[in-house]
Structure 1
Amino acid sequence: MGPDKNLTETEVVNEIYPFWTYSYLILLFPVFLATDYLRYKPVLILQAASFIVTYAMLMKAQGVPAMQLLEFFFGLATASEVAYYSYIYSVVDPSQYQTVTGICRSVTLLGSAIGSLTGQILVSVAHVPVFYLCVITLASSCTAFVAPLFLPLPSKSLFFHQREDSAQDEASLEPMNSSQLHGTFVDSEAKMQPSPNEITATMDRKSSSGLLDVLKMLWTDFLQCYSSSTLLTWSVWWALSTCGYLQVLNYGQSLWEKILSSSDHQIYNGYVETISTLLGAFAAFVVSFIKVSWAVWGELALFIFSVVIAVSVYLMVTIRNIWVCYASYVLFRATYMLLITIATYQIAANLTMKRYALVFGVNTFIALLLQTLLTVIVVDSVGLGLDIFPQFLIYACYFTGVAMVFFIAWLYKLVKRRRSREQADSGRNSAP
């Protein structure tokens, strides 16, 4: 919207930004399958190349169609993020999953915080034009492009190449006795023991690696995973809240610009992003030490924190003071990161690694599908094409609706628990 591109707010918010949402949704599932089929590394290279194209276009391209194409490449880059995490799990021992997950999340949040802080200091203190922030980001992307070229190609695959993988596994397991095998795998499988039907299905899967077989396997695992009420509860919150979170994240800067124009005032968006990221990382770290029976209090916690998120978004749009906006945004992101960490743990605790990737992929896909519907109806010029203030009011109402869903779920669970207790008490009283 500045002099470099000279685009209007309507063009940016209602015509350009939605293309990222659409591209991300359309590309997520094909990239998910391609990642497994190509064994991760080629998609990592594709992701790095997509970032280079994105920021090169941001520097040089002009006009709405060019910016829409830019958003497509950015959608390809973000959809390819699944390759990064999948690759890590494919090259480390299962006993190291928790460690590498923590390291990867910390590095990602740290990089985001450093980028926000550096950008704000360069603009506010050194008075560097925003254009040169794009130059720095492009240089960083080019450097990142080199790294995947030197990574080894993993030998494992979650869904495709089952025949080759099973042959390699059999060869690698020959020297081990049965007790060693039990000690290696019992922890990862303890939460969800395979049934005889699942064992038969697994043996059938190893006989073929075609796309149709993979899709059948995905569907079978999908039904098995979401039959768990606990996993389903946290997955529903994941999808619903991530949808709203991405919308607020995408259009938050536009809201701040409308409240306090960067062309007329000194803004501190970079500091706010830094603080919210670090506070979110701290919240994610602290939750690992909290001992709570989430099976009992999960729905109530989701209701309470969803209310906090809804109030935060509501304050942004109603008070219309930039400092209230900043504070509400920090609270919004920290609360979301706290809950998404809990959700991640609750889901992963009940799944094997293969199902872990599937469930997280499905949850993200549903979130993007909901976000696409929200974008088409509320944001896109083909829909209502609302101004930024009505948009955020709708997002506040959306999170209020999410809170009500889990309030009802908590009440239902409470009533069900009391009825079970009463039936148990009546059974004891009627006993001779």
Structure 2
Amino acid sequence: SYLRVPVKRRAAAFCTIWRPCRAGHYMPCHAGWVGPTVLLCIYGFCSMMRPIEPFLTEFLTGTCKNLTTEQVTRQVYPVWTYSSLLLLIPVLLVTDFLRYKPVIILQGLSYVIAFLLVLVGSGVPSTQLALFSYSIATAADVAYFSYIYIVVHASYYQRVTSYVRASILLGYSVGGLLGQLLVSLGGVSLYCLAFVTLISVSIALITSFFLPMPKTSLFLNGTYSAQQRNSDEDDHNSESEDSDNRVKSRMAAKHIGRMFRRLILDFKTCYSSAALLFFCIWAATGRCGFYQVSGYVQLLWVYIQPQNVTAYNGGVDAISTLTGAAATVAVGHMSLEWSVWGELILGGFTLLIAGSVFLMDLTDNIWISYTCYILFKTVYMQLSTICTFQIAKALNRKRYALVFGVNSFVGTVLQSVLTAIVINTKSLQLTITSQFFIYASYFAVIALLFTVRGVYTVLHMKRPAAGNQAERATNLPEESHP
């Protein structure tokens, strides 16, 4: 009976059931966002479920690898910082051109290589290579966080983003708790935790192969994408295939030139606003300080309690992640005039971060240090969320990757400079406590800058002149429509 239906009606029925959910990607409509989201959540959970990470310093300096604390501090951990600086920009440039999925696969493969080297390698060179592979994976985060906006409709962005970020936080928390329970209650060796981590990231790699390949990208959606669609329609003609390849090459070359010109113009537009610029400054400087503290805090804990066989690092990581997630959710429900009070809040809470890092440096009680780290991470995630949505409110969707990528790059540059001065300067030879004193001072300077700026902003905005607030509102770059 279906064959008796006119062709036009059959085509209409087909389009109703199998309409293109995104750029020619035909799939059932109910699976248009559910399928990729489920796969991304599985990938995010497994790639972040790494129970060895809270105990990585103990693993490297213990009987498993027999590296010294000095080697880990000055030769191993800095590799991640410097490699991230070198890899971030190339990854940002090729991610959109390769249409995200290959970069996500590369990220999963890099995680597997990194933890495989951690598990079976020995000596400083092998561990350095593991950290280099790990830096490739972290640099590829931009592909993971951008992919979902390519394969689902814009109406699902908020829902899908919440699911994906929740899976990441859940994976990190489960990894920390699992590692803590296995070590404290099960008496499991750290070698077994490394093996469990390798299995988890391997599952993530396998999952990445099932992600649908996007037919377009955030930037390749103009003439180049139109030519791709035309070529898909004409692929039955063998002669048009050769011509099509030549056209694609020419269009790709033109696209690269247009992309760089557009990046420069977008860069000027985005950072021409003083209000937006200060949120970007905190995002970059805060990122630098956060990764320095979180990257070397395990060395501080080893210094405070050298024979801490039943360390609670995993539990602390899990609790700090969960409290940070709760803080970010709370920020989303706060009703506040952020254009007036935002910078002052950043300054005040950054001072709280500086105080917690100072106390971590001064105390010789491991429990006080644990508590301060939980406070540090919770407040950082809250302030990072404030900066993220304040920046996002002022930007067009296509500028997100540019601004957040530039902020990450600036933060990584600062982190490399701080690492070179504090850790790799041979004349200084600072102890771990001296390093944390510098980190605390670093946050104190940021707090002072934003407190002064925040007080000025509040006084300026609260003047009786009605025109001031309107002027402030227009300082943010207007969202341009494609």
Fold conserved between structures, TM > 0.5: yes
- Is the aligned partner of 1:242 residue 2:287? yes
2:456 to 401, 404, 412: 412
- Is the aligned partner of 1:339 residue 2:399? no
Amino acid at match of 1:323: W
CA distance, structure 1, for counterparts of residue 308 and residue 276 of structure 2 = 49
When structure 1 is superposed on structure 2, of 264-273 and 134-143 the one drifting more is 264-273
Output one character per residue of 1:338-393: Cα deviation in whole Å (capped at 9) or x when no partner: 11111111111121221011111111111001000000000125563421110000
Task: Give the aligned partner of residue 307 of structure 1.
Answer: 351
- Is the aligned partner of 1:38 residue 2:108? no
Relative distance call for 1:290 and 1:264 in structure 2 (3 A) is closer
Kept in 1: contact 2:340–2:458 (CA 8 A): no
Displacement after TM superposition at 1:415 (Å): 4.6
Task: Give the aligned partner of residue 135 of structure 1.
Answer: 195
2:435 to 348, 366, 391: 391
- Is the aligned partner of 1:74 residue 2:146? no
Provide runs of 4+ in structure 1 moved above 3 Å: 166-170, 206-210, 381-385, 414-424
Kept in 2: contact 1:161–1:209 (CA 8 A): no
Output one character per residue of 1:197-237: Cα deviation in whole Å (capped at 9) or x when no partner: xxxxxxxxx99644332122111111111112222121111
What count of residue pairs does the alignment treat as equivalent?
389
Output one character per residue of 1:293-349: Cα deviation in whole Å (capped at 9) or x when no partner: 000101110111000100010000012211110110000010011111111111111
Task: Give the aligned partner of residue 104 of structure 1.
Answer: 164
Q: Write the mapping of 1:197-346 to structure 2, written as runs, cut at 5 A.
A: 209-261=254-306, 263-346=307-390
Displacement after TM superposition at 1:274 (Å): 0.8
Identity of aligned residues (%): 44
Task: Give the aligned partner of residue 196 of structure 1.
Answer: none
Displacement after TM superposition at 1:164 (Å): 2.7
Kept in 1: contact 2:224–2:252 (CA 8 A): no
Kept in 1: contact 2:113–2:133 (CA 8 A): yes
Task: Give the aligned partner of residue 5 of structure 2.
Answer: none
Amino acid at match of 1:226: Y
Kept in 2: contact 1:377–1:383 (CA 8 A): no
Displacement after TM superposition at 1:420 (Å): 7.0
1:126 match: secondary structure: coil
Task: Give the aligned partner of residue 148 of structure 1.
Answer: 208
- Is the aligned partner of 1:360 residue 2:420? no
Stretches of structure 1 that go unaligned for 5 or more consecutive residues are 171-205, 425-432
- Is the aligned partner of 1:29 residue 2:89? yes
CA distance, structure 2, for counterparts of residue 138 and residue 335 of structure 1 = 31
Displacement after TM superposition at 1:265 (Å): 4.2
Displacement after TM superposition at 1:123 (Å): 0.6
Task: Give the aligned partner of residue 66 of structure 2.
Answer: 6
Relative distance call for 1:312 and 1:15 in structure 2 (3 A) is same
Task: Give the aligned partner of residue 375 of structure 1.
Answer: 419
Task: Give the aligned partner of residue 178 of structure 1.
Answer: none
CA distance, structure 2, for counterparts of residue 166 and residue 285 of structure 1 = 40
Displacement after TM superposition at 1:90 (Å): 0.9
2:465 match: secondary structure: helix
CA distance, structure 1, for counterparts of residue 439 and residue 171 of structure 2 = 28
TM-score normalised by the chain length of structure 2: 0.77
Relative distance call for 1:412 and 1:127 in structure 2 (3 A) is same
Kept in 1: contact 2:344–2:451 (CA 8 A): yes
Relative distance call for 1:168 and 1:250 in structure 2 (3 A) is same
CA distance, structure 1, for counterparts of residue 467 and residue 113 of structure 2 = 64
Amino acid at match of 1:106: A
Relative distance call for 1:14 and 1:208 in structure 2 (3 A) is closer
CA distance, structure 2, for counterparts of residue 236 and residue 11 of structure 1 = 33
What is the root-mean-square deviation of aligned Cα atoms in Å? Answer: 2.1
Kept in 2: contact 1:37–1:160 (CA 8 A): yes
Task: Give the aligned partner of residue 194 of structure 1.
Answer: none
Output one character per residue of 1:378-430: Cα deviation in whole Å (capped at 9) or x when no partner: 01255634211100000000000000111221233245346673999xxxxxx
Relative distance call for 1:212 and 1:33 in structure 2 (3 A) is same
When structure 1 is superposed on structure 2, of 265-274 and 73-82 the one drifting more is 265-274
Kept in 1: contact 2:354–2:440 (CA 8 A): yes
TM-score normalised by the chain length of structure 1: 0.86
CA distance, structure 1, for counterparts of residue 258 and residue 224 of structure 2 = 15
1:17 match: secondary structure: helix
Stretches of structure 2 that go unaligned for 5 or more consecutive residues are 1-60, 231-250, 469-482
Kept in 1: contact 2:321–2:378 (CA 8 A): yes
Kept in 2: contact 1:376–1:383 (CA 8 A): no
